[in-house]
Structure 1
């Protein structure tokens, strides 16, 4: 890393460092001295040079003196020392004594390493006090658990749009009723479940309050008509907010418009909430730490051939493979060689949700038209209008005359929306915060990198770290596997138990089968997934997978989205009366289900049914959860620390 500060007087000069973040810069020497300092960020090697270009012509009376280029190899300059450079003969004296200051000092703004950040480590220490107290009560322990005896329990989810948003509320409610919510240290989300998480984490003490209130608010938003999201006022708001975001320096795309639609679907007003704001919800360990997940794609490669996992917490945003992380509030700003070179305003959470759930943006035009219940809505706002004047009574003319039409060009607003909507890119681009780094050959052998070495070009570091990758191309993890497992399987998090809450459409076992195969291929300890063909045809509410021979492998409790015993029982052990049997008819599996991924609006009855179903499925498997927690405590006590 090199910061070249150059201070020169009495002339306008151009400075160039090829391969640097800045490229070329100019100094106006008649300006304030404090403005005559420029900084370059670049890699110093034998080829790196600083070129100082004088104007093309310098006038001295009637004589014209041709300018030249002063060139200095940067690796020859002493660090943090002022260098005086005398000009060549032929250039008038007033251009002498150029000062160049080289500086290599200062810490990087990108944190490198596979350890957890200090804030997360502190969070875990505080969270374990909640977990230990809850486990002592639930497991009826006689003594308090020591810190190293407290297991780390995590929730992983799958996406599914409004279905997963709604179903997750029911699952969390069930855990809260069993006093198990305080046993959870991490919640991993993607796609539709990030909508639930972002809503909950606006409240600094959400898990310490009865969730019924949060569910009532979610019910209001899910059941409201979504046509309001496409009103004229909303369209103007989308346009103005995207324009302002562009002025701030952010890239904008269809994904950002999708994020604004999500905001309108789930809120009644503009949501100023940002990821870093969620620190207040975890700084005292009072709630589980939220981890949002996305993947980075590479141009020219499919998601199956190339993807890199990103995790987003209130503290940091990190690339798992490289062990590179930045502060959450700096995500979206520009970095070069680990330095923050251009700080932009922190992105609002709705734009993040658009990126985390971008797989649904493919169908947002379907939602757009559905909300208006007609193609007329699309025609009205994004196409030029051609009206048959003969159809307008006050403009009707002699019927024997030639037909006349009134042509009304589309407005600036509708044209802008049309440009965004018809392009429909499904990738959100954010500045690549590892841009400018060079990978050491031995880095490929590091434990952290090897764990996530899973793409077709991982053996070619020059391709991995191409300088052309100025942007991260981020999408919903559903483009690869509909899961939020990877961050929870980082060895430093030492997760003992994972509650897999599955809300995907179609095959309920597919995400679990896919992630188990993927994780095993990465050499990460994980239990073997064995479900009989008979069970796959008629899934139960909960399955437990564990590996007694591998203490490092977490115990996985798999909760598929099924309606099994809920058909006959309204609560664990409480059968339905004949009059209540209709309430147990919840279709979550057929093509006629009211909970398909494309549905953005549920009826109040269906919302209540889905919440009650997922709530019940957790409550009805209390014994399996308690058994897994008891086993986790026993394993922790057997470990040597």
Structure 2
């Protein structure tokens, strides 16, 4: 046993050394002489300012090529000159919605690239499924043609979890239909239980990883009935009492079918377990350095496994951007990953990760830390231990798209269709996930609260804003930040970071793949964002909220006549050429489905390759510059476009 412990210790040290060598986890570095915390007041950070300035200088020929390619729009030469000298600042916001969003938005981006518009973007923001597109772009050095080439879409993101559907509720983007205060309170009550669950989860994987390293030890322990496979199997699916001799044959078959739907065949169970053990081994070095880990760390490593281009490379977000050829040449948009903060009772408090900084523009914080030093121990703005590599891009992406709670909802749906014995087993699973003390609604087969676990929180500890002077609230009083899926508060579109006056955008494209009705958007999440902007203390960037009854297949433009605001060109996901209303929780797609979703995303942007619509896009892009010139005349086609699209 001592020998095995030494082997385990040595293997742990080897993992640690290898992780250090490839930049796979946080490491201690010397602290810089410059300040790590910036107070966000009237402008973005100097690095972002410089990047946008340099990018706009290089955009003149691209905008010139786009506007001269338009079929029916003949702009005055003076307007073209202004567009060349002062190109519009444009952004793209990609909503959440799982693979539905990722595939639709990927097609949308590919079509933007076809018309030369993607290269003209200065910013691109994403949350939840939209953040997966950002991660893919970063890993592909922003080569749009390479999007999705490394995703094995016929193989699920998480082993052992099949496709499933939530027929009436999208848990990620539909939280507003529930009493959110009640959800948060329940979550706090069960906090201790969920922490205990995660400890059990981690210990089970650690034991399995240890025992599988030694054949003799595995055999010896297996004989005693606690072999690694048995332990993990018990963890994921508690043993079912099969001694009911009176059980009907049909009920037995239903039980077997449900077990197969959860893990596939018994033969594949070991592969499922090995998958999670591998994730554990990837996460372990971070914990060995003293950092708190959560389910989000495991999900982040699953994302990294999906993108083979990241294997063997640094996974640090800031380092990847430094290594990006296009980003260093100012040819890529600045990516913004969006997440929500769940410290105490906070709602609609959003944080952003960009290549330069992490922090929030919210009025109750207004602070940013330099991205490479995320994870450093900083108190009152003064660092005492500096870290590089905490900004793992998989971890950041997983933070913006925490989906382990969705797995629980799947299990609950399975319960509704199960025999009594299967229900007993599923109840045991829910108990493990911290739901053991909650009441089971036998009629509807759903937990009393849909989101009462803290195991899906991403834990950012140390909190870089801890005890910051003159900022005393939930965001600075604790040495940790709890961050969750960017769409949990009903803001399933990452618009707000693009509308801040400091970024001075002229137009924002939106591709919305939210699930409002039959897995299609009906403007509900856009309305939520607009209401949030109106609730902001600074109402200088509040939009008039139109009626959304007519939202179906056609894009609409908001803020057209509010010249101090960026125009929002909103594109809802709709079935132009393919039924793209797949479930948020569908996690496998065959080649035909992928091609259909991508083409439909293309058609959403181009309105089924309508040349006149692209002309209208050009008019909307140029609108703010035309207004600034007080141009005496506007092309007639542009006037008609504004009448057709502006609401």
Answer yes or no: same fold by TM over 0.5: yes
Q: 1:624 aligns with which of 591, 594, 616?
A: 616
Q: 1:333 aligns with which of 376, 393, 409?
A: 376
Q: Which secondary structure state, in structure 1, belongs to the residue aligned with residue 147 of structure 2?
A: helix
- 1:265 offset after TM fit, Å? 4.3
Aligned pairs for 1:512-523 (under 5 A) are: 512-522=526-536, 523=539
Partner of 1:236: 277
Partner of 1:117: 45
Partner of 2:153: 222
Do the aligned partners of 1:334 and 1:342 also contact (CA within 8 Å) in 2?
A: yes
Do the aligned partners of 1:308 and 1:320 also contact (CA within 8 Å) in 2?
A: no
Q: 2:455 aligns with which of 421, 425, 437?
A: 425
- 1:146 offset after TM fit, Å? 6.8
Do the aligned partners of 2:39 and 2:367 also contact (CA within 8 Å) in 1?
A: yes
- 1:287 offset after TM fit, Å? 0.8
Q: Deviations over 1:337-386 (max 9, x none)?
A: 1122222341321111211101x221135679999xx999x99xx99xxx
- What is the distance in 1 between the residues matched to 2:459 and 2:142? 33
Flag the structure with higher strand content: 1
Do the aligned partners of 2:142 and 2:332 also contact (CA within 8 Å) in 1?
A: yes
Residue 166 and residue 132 in structure 1: after superposition, are their counterparts in 2 closer, same or farther (change >3 A)? same
Report the TM-score when normalising by structure 1.
0.62
Partner of 1:313: 354
Length, aligned pairs only: 432
Matched, 1:257 2:298: yes
- What is the distance in 2 between the residues matched to 1:324 and 1:604? 44
Q: Which secondary structure state, in structure 2, belongs to the residue aligned with residue 482 of structure 1?
A: coil
- 1:464 offset after TM fit, Å? 4.4
Do the aligned partners of 1:149 and 1:637 also contact (CA within 8 Å) in 2?
A: no
- 1:530 offset after TM fit, Å? 2.2
CA RMSD of aligned residues (A): 3.3
- What is the distance in 2 between the residues matched to 1:599 and 1:180? 30
- 1:226 offset after TM fit, Å? 5.2
- What is the distance in 2 between the residues matched to 1:504 and 1:465? 29
Partner of 1:528: 544
Do the aligned partners of 2:150 and 2:309 also contact (CA within 8 Å) in 1?
A: no
Do the aligned partners of 1:438 and 1:465 also contact (CA within 8 Å) in 2?
A: no
Structure 1 unaligned regions, length at least 5? 1-104, 384-421, 440-460, 567-583, 590-594
Partner of 1:437: 468
Residue 226 and residue 501 in structure 1: after superposition, are their counterparts in 2 closer, same or farther (change >3 A)? closer
Residue 233 and residue 436 in structure 1: after superposition, are their counterparts in 2 closer, same or farther (change >3 A)? same
Aligned pairs for 1:255-334 (under 5 A) are: 255-267=296-308, 270=311, 272-276=314-318, 277-279=320-322, 280=324, 281-299=326-344, 301=345, 303=347, 307-321=348-362, 322-334=365-377
Q: Deviations over 1:197-233 (max 9, x none)?
A: 11111233525xxx1x334444xx2123557576343
Q: Deviations over 1:403-451 (max 9, x none)?
A: xxxxxxxxxxxxxxxxxxx976121111211112221xxxxxxxxxxxx
Residue 139 and residue 361 in structure 1: after superposition, are their counterparts in 2 closer, same or farther (change >3 A)? same
Residue 216 and residue 256 in structure 1: after superposition, are their counterparts in 2 closer, same or farther (change >3 A)? closer
Partner of 1:542: 555
Partner of 2:563: 551
Residue 463 and residue 176 in structure 1: after superposition, are their counterparts in 2 closer, same or farther (change >3 A)? closer
Partner of 2:233: none
Flag the structure with higher helix content: 2
- 1:106 offset after TM fit, Å? 6.2
Partner of 1:137: 65
Q: Deviations over 1:504-562 (max 9, x none)?
A: 112411111111111122214244242453x14xx1221122342x3111111110001
Q: 2:482 aligns with which of 473, 477, 498?
A: 473
Q: Deviations over 1:2-26 (max 9, x none)?
A: xxxxxxxxxxxxxxxxxxxxxxxxx
Aligned pairs for 1:163-174 (under 5 A) are: 163-174=100-111
Report the TM-score when normalising by structure 2.
0.61
Do the aligned partners of 2:61 and 2:84 also contact (CA within 8 Å) in 1?
A: no
- What is the distance in 1 between the residues matched to 2:408 and 2:308? 20
Partner of 2:497: 487
Structure 2 unaligned regions, length at least 5? 1-31, 69-74, 161-270, 430-451, 608-612, 632-647
Residue 530 and residue 346 in structure 1: after superposition, are their counterparts in 2 closer, same or farther (change >3 A)? same
- What is the distance in 1 between the residues matched to 2:380 and 2:592? 54
Q: Deviations over 1:293-325 (max 9, x none)?
A: 1122222x152xxx4321111111122133321
